[in-house]
Structure 1
Amino acid sequence: MKDPQNIAVIGVSGYTGFELAKILLRHPQAKSLTFYVRAAQGSHCLSELFPRLRGWGQAPVRALSVDAIARSEAGTAFLATPHEVSAELAPQLLDAGLRIIDLSGAFRFRNAETFRQWYRLPTPHAARLSEAVYGLPEFYSEQIAHARLIANPGCYATSVILAVRPLADAGYIGSGSSVVCDCKSGATGAGKELRRDLQFAELAENFKAYNLFSHRHTPEITEHTGLPESQVVFSTHLLPLARGILSTIYVTLGEPQSAESVESLFRKTYAGRPMMRIWKAGTLPELQHVAHTNFADIGFALDSSGRRLVIVSCLDNLGKGAAGQAVQNFNHLPGVEEQTGLQ
């Protein structure tokens, strides 16, 4: 079996790919790193593509070739590629004996029809969906450690699931009551695609909702909280800043609870999880607390009736929402501490 600490990274031109490169270049368990891109632009070294990395980004850059990756010593491949590209490449790399961490949405669902419906893309990878493990280590670390294919979660989905699942698992949520997930993200979450709505003049001094009742992270949230879609109201908004997600989640509890019991539930759920930070009852995290980190911060307020609960869940969409979480998942492959290279 190939050494998982020899790493191939496919795709580095996007915000997530570049963030992943920065983390892996400093990771103590990355024995070797090679970056594969469709257009190397004559570059042979990562620092030639990204002058910001001069002096420490000396990893080689190669033209993308599945055969070249298969012949290399790489045991792990990170796919920071579009959904349809991951769907094409991952099965070939699995057949070549590599373990895959895919940062796209291609393998997040067991049901190919779910992917087709929400992403409106073909499913040439349908036969491999059952092999994928959902890469949320706070809940699936044992499966991740033995997985050959890890599907990194969506950024919004990570923020919501971490906040809601403990309540759902404990039976705290009122039967039939709506769980309102009101989420805001920085513009890097939309990627580097040239779009009018992502231009500076459209973003600056503006704030807007988008993809209501149609956001692709919806089925991740329902599948991994156990809540039916009819009970979840998931709204997404674009903030005029680069990075960060703040989700404000409104929950009606089935039975009155004390603030102490709610805080205890979160602390018990995430005991020993190094990337989770639970705030004291009544105190709330902010985006500046998680920017450029892999932490997920959760705070809450409970009204005097003990039934109306508001949770604030914060993370960096490029960190815990993408590249950082991918490395957190990778750490389980060689069996090192989950937070290695992330603090």
Structure 2
Amino acid sequence: MRTRLMLGLLAGLATLAPVPADAQATLAAVRARGEVLCGTNQGLTGFALADAQGVWRGLDADTCRAVAAATLGDAGKVRFVPLTTPDALAALREGRIDLAARNLTQTMGRDADLGLAPTAVNFYDGQGFLVPAALGAADARALAGKRVCVVTGTSNEAAMADFARRIGIAYTPVPSAAFAGIRDDYAAGRCDAVSADLSSLVVLRQTGTANPSAHVLLPDIISREPLGPLVRDGDPNWRSLVFWVVNVMLEGEARGITAATATARRADPSALVRRILGAEPGLGAPLGLSDDWGFRVLSQVGNYAEVYERNLGQGSVLGVPRGLNALWDRGGLMYPIPMR
């Protein structure tokens, strides 16, 4: 009886054992390769775009750098792989990239049907419409019978179709495989409106038109679009790692830890701040990382506010207010999960 009881207890404890080593395959592959393969946008200002020197800039590009800093100790050890949305999802499923960080909406279908796993949200967005001011449209009902540019294979395409059915209008979709296509179609007058995430529409108006003031955003917001990196399903350690990398940038902002102050803050009176920065042990082993991974992220890439401002905010050509992407205690939705 005592033997059976002991075996039963051991079996129960086995279910609580740490994740087996073979579930950490992505981290092991990244370390063996010496770089993170990051599927990203083919070119979207503020999120991922190669500059004149070939350096990738943007919120998603910096998210990939943060993952490299955490896993390899060097934010520069990233290979950016520019892909369309369908190609990025396929490449991720097939193991050709380690994560997809390209303004991707986290949806049930991508989680439950496609074998992918959402991590943290790094940008709260919503789908809207950009039209020429000359169209005189007060709202999206004015698009009845009009041509609307959309990117195929995205949640935007489906949301546009659902919205048109809901309000009872017919429209002609003008599909394109990538954002660059809808930008060119709109500029050439091949469509009367563009429907996409608001962040993309701001980019289009500011950088893809000759006169931004001649184009207006309609008041309609037709969907919720929580954007963030996706990883493959089946590797919970890697999913957790990417989640906490994004989260530590939010925590850094909430606690005032910047790239410039990270070193000095390792002697902070707060034990939690010291743990986040690796001056005290505790936050590395659960992810298979060294304890200073958070310090590497914050010192090499910066906190969320720093990343946002230089890519999307007042330090960028876009000047997009934080809005929903402010911290929760400043009127937004961003809420760092406790790191303890």
TM above 0.5, one fold?
A: no
Higher strand share: 1
Could you state the TM-score of these two structures normalised by the residue count of structure 2? 0.31
Higher helix share: 2
User: Which fold has the larger relative contact order, with Cα–Cα distance below 8 Å and residues 6 or more apart in sequence?
Assistant: 2
Larger CA Rg, structure 1 vs 2:
2
